[in-house]
Amino acid sequence: MSVSSNASSASIKDSVDSPSSTTNTDSSELTHILNRRQEIMESQEAGIEVRRTYKVVNVYTDFPEFSRNQIKDYQKTFNTYDTARDGFLDLQELKFMMEKLGAPQTHLGLKQMIAEVDEDNDGKISFREFLLIFRKAQAGELDSDSGLNQLARLTEVDVEQVGVSGAKNFFEAKIEQQLRTNKFHDEIRAEQEERRREDEERAQRRQQFQQRAAIFQ
Ligand SMILES: [Ca+2]
Ligand SMILES: [Ca+2]
C-alpha cells in the first residue's frame, strides 16, 4: 500500500514538475496499472471472477532454439499435467506429473524444481517457465540427478508407451523391436518357402508315381 501511494504521489509530482510527454506516458501507464489493480481487488472482494489480461508472450520468438513442432509437443505435455486447466503447473500437479513419470519427488524437491524456473515468483510454472526447463536441460545447466533434469529427460520420450525403465534405452529398444520384427518376417517367409518346396516335391513324386504306374498298366 505504501508503495502504491508513494508511486502515485511521485507520478503526480513528476507531471507537475516536468510535464514532458515521456513522463506523462509513464504516469498514465502507472495510473492505468493502479486502477486495474484496484478494479481487480474490488471485484475479488465482491466475489466476481476476474479474467486476467494476459500479456502476449510469443514463445516461438522467445525460444528460437526449439522448432514449432517441439514447442507444440511441450505444450501437449504441459496441458496433460495442467489438470486444473488454468495455464499453470502448481505444486500438486507437478507432484502428480513426477509420480506419473516414475520419478517422485519430496515436497522440498518439488518446491526447488519450481523455484529454479519461477521467473515471476508466483510459486507455479507457467508454460514459458516450463520451456525454460528444456532450455536449461539442452544447455546442460541442470544437475543430472536434479528433479528438473529427470522431468526433461523423461518427457522427451513417450513414457506411457515404453515404460519408465525402458525410457532410458528407448532407442535401443526401438532398434531391437525393429530387428525382431524383421526376423519374424524372415522366419515367416522361410516357412512359406519351405512349404511351397514341399508341396512341389510332393506333386512331383505323385506325377512320377503316376507315370511309372502308367508304364506297368
Ligand atoms: Ca494448473
Ligand atoms: Ca511462475
pLDDT at residue number 192: 87
Instruction: Report, as an integer, the average pLDDT of 34-51.
Output: 73
pLDDT, greater one: 32 or 68: 68
pLDDT at residue number 24: 54
Nearest of 114, 127, 118, 117 to residue 72 by alpha carbon = 127
Single-letter amino acid, residue 170: F
Decide if 113 contacts 147 (C-beta within 8 A). yes
| Cα 4 to Cα 34: distance, rounded to the nearest angstrom | 8
95 alpha carbon – ligand 2 mean position (Å): 16
DSSP states along 165-216:
HHHTTHHHHHHHHHHHHHHHHHHHHHHHHHHHHHHHHHHHHHHHHHHHHHHH
90 alpha carbon – ligand 2 mean position (Å): 9
159 alpha carbon – ligand 2 mean position (Å): 26
**Ligand in closest contact with the CA of 123:** 2
pLDDT surpassing 50 at residue 159: no
111 alpha carbon – ligand 1 mean position (Å): 15
For ion ligand 1, residues whose CB falls within 5 Å: 82, 84, 86, 88, 93
How distant is the alpha carbon of residue 54 from its chain centre? 21
pLDDT surpassing 70 at residue 180: no
Decide if 109 contacts 94 (C-beta within 8 A). no
What are the φ/ψ torsions at residue 104 (nearest 5 degrees)?
A: -60, 145
Cα separations in angstroms, 87 against 82, 124, 125: 7, 10, 9
**Ligand in closest contact with the CA of 82:** 1
| Cα 25 to Cα 188: distance, rounded to the nearest angstrom | 78
Instruction: Report, as an integer, the average pLDDT of 190-196.
Output: 89
Q: What is the CATH superfamily name and number for domain 59-165?
A: EF-hand (1.10.238.10)
Q: Model confidence over 76-111: pLDDT tens digits?
A: 999 999 999 999 999 999 999 999 999 999 999 999
139 alpha carbon – ligand 1 mean position (Å): 27
115 alpha carbon – ligand 2 mean position (Å): 8
47 alpha carbon – ligand 1 mean position (Å): 21
| Cα 173 to Cα 168: distance, rounded to the nearest angstrom | 9
What are the φ/ψ torsions at residue 128 (nearest 5 degrees)?
A: -60, -45
Instruction: Please tell me the number of Cα atoms within 13 Å of 154 on its side-chain side.
Output: 21
18 alpha carbon – ligand 1 mean position (Å): 46
pLDDT surpassing 90 at residue 201: yes
pLDDT, the chain, mean: 79
Which residue carries 519374424 as its cell?
184
| Cα 145 to Cα 142: distance, rounded to the nearest angstrom | 8
